[in-house]
Amino acid sequence: MASSNQELQQLTTMEDDEDEVSYTQKDSRNDIELDETVEMEIDEDPMHVDVNDEQWVKCIPKLSLTGATILAAIIGAAIGLTIALTGPQTETQEVFKVTYNHTITLSEVEAGNVSIKNVYETQIINGEPVYFYYINESNGTTEVPVEQLNEDWKAVLEFPGKIWINALQLLVLPLIVLMMIILPSRVDQVGFIGKVAVPLYIFTSTMAAIQGTILVWVIRPGEFGSSSTVTDPNAADLENLAKVTELEAFLGIFYQAVPQNIITAMADLSILGLIVFFIIVGVLLRRPNVKIVERDAIINASKGILRCCMAAIVWVIWFAPFGMMSLICVKIAETENLVSLLASLGMYLVTLILGQCCHLFGFYPLLMFATIKSNAWKFFTKIYEAPLLAFATSSSAATLPRSLQVADKAGVRKSVYQFILPLGAAINM
């Protein structure tokens, strides 16, 4: 009896082991099939790009792309300061006072045997030629800023930065156009997500503007330093802008959203008009009256070009350290009277950094807690790589591949971040 019980127990144990092995193998097969499905979705996603910015170049270990960009910016600033502060900052020039409406007749010239210079007008008065001329009179001396960087060296130093900026600007238009066409086909509930996304963007932008205005009123960065050292090349445009009323500014938003000519809007890079036009095209492609063959042809062609553009963006951001170093170096080196300018803009930079920190680390955590009762600080630890890259490159388009990656790792729903992030990158959010 005892032996039969032992045999029965052994048989039961063997059956359990077989079931466990069978379940484990089945579960493993399911996991493999799930992984293959995920990999297939990733391969079919034209916005997916493998970006590993933790290692910039292999010859310099433990140096990320963000760290390299910040380090290059510091080096560029140091070189620019060295060029700007080397040599005399000002030179003495004689100032002349010009006085007009001096006259002399031809008979006076001949009688006095004198020569006349700086004649700007001749008239016949009472039958005799009368010469009008001006006199340059010395009015003392003044100190004039000296340009430390000549045109040839400026062209050489700014060459990498200009090429980098041109490459980024070159990819902005096709990225906006293609993403807006593809976006509606990637999201089943475009209307629902759009109803949430658009008010959210408007609300956060409005709060950022209010917060910035309050900081400017409190700190008043324009009262520090000498305002005479800061010149605005677009002063005439600012004067014209000041004449625009609030109603005209409000109606201008709708005029920009509906441009008269889409080709002109593309040439002028009118972002709002491009977004509205091409996202409507993407929505209309989903209508039943559009043939499936036609829709698939447009969508597939757009996906192919978009995949190439996303790969090109990765190449461009890899040269961000060289571009940032070049731009910062030239901007500082060509600045006249740098010390006074730094005094004028120093508090502006402090205000700008303070405002961004308050908005990022104060406003967004409060907004997340008030809406979804979530801890924004824990979420920020999952996505911090994207803001750091955005800070280093100063480009929403260049940060988009990394933003898509960190959103997926953070567990954000794919249908949400595939619509929100490209739209936010297109409007520089």
pLDDT tens, 109-131? Answer: 776 666 677 777 778 877 778 87
**pLDDT at position 24:** 40
Which of 58-62, 192-196, 280-284 bottoms out in mean pLDDT, i.e. has the lowest?
192-196
**pLDDT at position 32:** 38
Which of 31-45, 101-115, 408-422 bottoms out in mean pLDDT, i.e. has the lowest?
31-45
Cα 392 to Cα 74: distance, rounded to the nearest angstrom: 11
Residue 348 has pLDDT above 80, yes or no: yes
Q: Which of 342, 326, 341 is nearest to 153 (CA)?
A: 326
**pLDDT at position 422:** 80
**pLDDT at position 1:** 43
**pLDDT at position 87:** 67
Cα 275 to Cα 303: distance, rounded to the nearest angstrom: 17
For the sheet containing 90-105, what is the strand order?
A: 90-105, 128-145, 119-125
Cα 383 to Cα 378: distance, rounded to the nearest angstrom: 9
Residue that wins the pLDDT comparison between 286 and 34: 286
**pLDDT at position 407:** 85
161-188 mean pLDDT: 86
**pLDDT at position 4:** 45
**pLDDT at position 293:** 93
Residue 186 has pLDDT above 50, yes or no: yes
Q: How does the average pLDDT of the chain come out, rounded? A: 76
250-260 mean pLDDT: 87
Q: Is 228 exposed, middle or buried (0-12, 13-18, 19+ CB in 10 A)?
A: exposed
Cα 297 to Cα 290: distance, rounded to the nearest angstrom: 11
Q: Which of 197, 218, 203 is nearest to 359 (CA)?
A: 203
Q: At what angle do helices 338-358 and 65-85 cross, to 10 degrees?
A: 160
| Per-range mean pLDDT, top range of 106-120, 181-195, 305-319 | 305-319
Which pTM does this prediction carry?
0.65
Strands 90-105 and 119-125: unpaired
Q: Which of 157, 162, 154 is nearest to 334 (CA)?
A: 154
58-68 mean pLDDT: 83
Q: What is the pLDDT of residues 74-99, one digit of tens each?
A: 999 899 888 887 766 666 666 666 66
Residue that wins the pLDDT comparison between 381 and 429: 381
393-409 mean pLDDT: 80
Residue that wins the pLDDT comparison between 44 and 211: 211
131-149 mean pLDDT: 70
Residue 341 has pLDDT above 60, yes or no: yes
201-211 mean pLDDT: 88
Residue that wins the pLDDT comparison between 61 and 215: 215
Please, which pLDDT band fits residue 396 given cuts at 50, 70 and 90?
confident
Compute the C-alpha angle 16/17/23, nearest 5°: 90
308-330 mean pLDDT: 89
